[in-house]
Amino acid sequence: MIRTRAMYRAAGLVALCFSVVLLAHDPRTTSKDFATSLLVGGEGKVEITYKGMHWNGPNYERAMSTEAYRNSLNKNVWSAIGKAHLDFDIQVGDQPVPKGDYAFGILLEPGRKFSLSFSNAAHQVVVPLDTTFDNPDHPYLSIDLYPVDAMDKPELYTFEARCGQFRGVQMITVMNLLPHEHTKQDKKSTGHSK
């Protein structure tokens, strides 16, 4: 009988602890999954999936003042907040990023700057974002891809990330859409003639 009471008490304690954990977890404070993509007819797509991280000003200020803490956040959190799938080669800023699958991140940099990160077993590409920090407050991370000039520069797109009062942008070039000459072999295979 004493043993049964102890078992009930232990089970009750476990249930109480479990319910406290459930009640303490507020789903409104966890990062949501988002995606943005760029579909280029005949080439495929660029798709970026990511966590819509909430802006945390005190945490950011600590990262700016403590290099070890910033490095830890970059390594353990920000370098892999999502994934990037590229069906074709792109250039981000002045850095080539070959087609493939990557861990995607936005890194915190000294001097109130940010960088994009694309990494996999074969490549690590880090490109600084052109950052401004006097924008309207944006409480969570959002990312967008949009054309620069669809008619005259169909190969150029803008990557834009917003979080807090920060806005970071960088140009993305779809390499296959750059103006180029077709060889005779290309013309024969596509049926084009001079």
Dump the DSSP string for 64-112.
HH-HHHHHHHHHHTGGGSEEEEESS-EEETTEEE-SEEEEEEEEEETTT
Tracing tokens 């407050």 back to the chain, one arrives at 137
Residue 190 has pLDDT above 90, yes or no: no
The per-residue pLDDT for range 33-91, each reduced to its tens digit, is: 999 999 888 889 999 999 998 899 999 999 999 999 999 999 999 999 999 999 999 99
pLDDT at 152: 82
pLDDT at 42: 83
Q: At 14, is the pLDDT very low, low, confident or very high (cuts 50, 70, 90)?
A: low
Using the CB atoms, write b or e for 73-82: b if 16+ within 10 Å: bbeeebbbbb
Residue 22 has pLDDT above 80, yes or no: no
The per-residue pLDDT for range 154-183, each reduced to its tens digit, is: 889 999 999 999 999 999 999 888 876 756
User: Above pLDDT 70, what percent of the chain?
Assistant: 77
Q: At 20, is the pLDDT very low, low, confident or very high (cuts 50, 70, 90)?
A: very low
